[in-house]
Amino acid sequence: MKNSVLLISLLLIVSCKKAVSSQEKQTDSVIVSEQSSNALNSDSAKVKVNNDTLMKQNVKSDTLLNKQNGEAVKLIDGEKLPSTLEYEFTDKIQKLIVRITNYHKAQLKATIIPENNQMNIRFNQIKLKDGQYDGPFGREISYKISGKGEVWLIIGKNLMADGENTGRFSVRIE
């Protein structure tokens, strides 16, 4: 009896210490396809833009690129809004930070318009002039801003949904 208990416990210990193959180590433990059903309808809905009501003005902005983090920073003067900014994600993990200086309006409205509607992209966060962050949001944001200062819009992939991580898109800021 004592020998059989010892043998069973030894087998349990050996089976629990099974080596994990390198292929198993590289896989992610999050199953994105199950989580995509929890996404808001506004995140995946097609964004329609009426060109008659929006004045298209492409912004010439300064771009700072930090390849180490996959991060790009665009600087825009808040006095030149409304405007449209165009950008492209070429890597799976990238983010775009739109820094709006001299923002003085009471409400910030912005929309992401991807060329491919299946693109996995959203406003991840907004950074207010007092340094506070809020988010996440969908492809559209309407946020009350108090006072004048610099506002950041941080755009990246939605970790809770699936879809293309690369592609061209426009950001309409009002």
In a domain, 26, yes or no: no
Model confidence pLDDT, tens digit, residues 69-124? 778 899 999 988 899 999 998 888 789 999 999 999 999 999 999 999 899 999 99
Q: Which helix (H) or strand (E) holds 15?
A: helix 2-16
Write the secondary structure of 76-92 as one string of H (helix), E (strand) and C (coil).
Answer: EEHHHCCEEEEEEECCC
Secondary structure (3-state) at 153: strand
Ramachandran class of 130: left when φ > 0, alpha when ψ lies in -120 to 50, beta otherwise = alpha
* CA distance linking residue 151 with residue 157, whole number of Å: 20
Measuring CA to CA, which residue among 85, 92, 62 is closest to residue 75?
62
Model confidence pLDDT, tens digit, residues 15-56? 665 554 444 444 333 333 333 333 444 444 444 444 333 333
In a domain, 46, yes or no: yes
Stronger pLDDT, 125 or 43, i.e. the higher one: 125
Give me the CATH number covering residue 87.
2.60.120.380
In a domain, 96, yes or no: yes
Domain range for residue 163? Answer: 34-173
In a domain, 158, yes or no: yes
Give how many domains the chain has, as a whole number: 1
In a domain, 23, yes or no: no
> Whole-prediction pTM value?
0.61
* CA distance linking residue 103 with residue 147, whole number of Å: 8
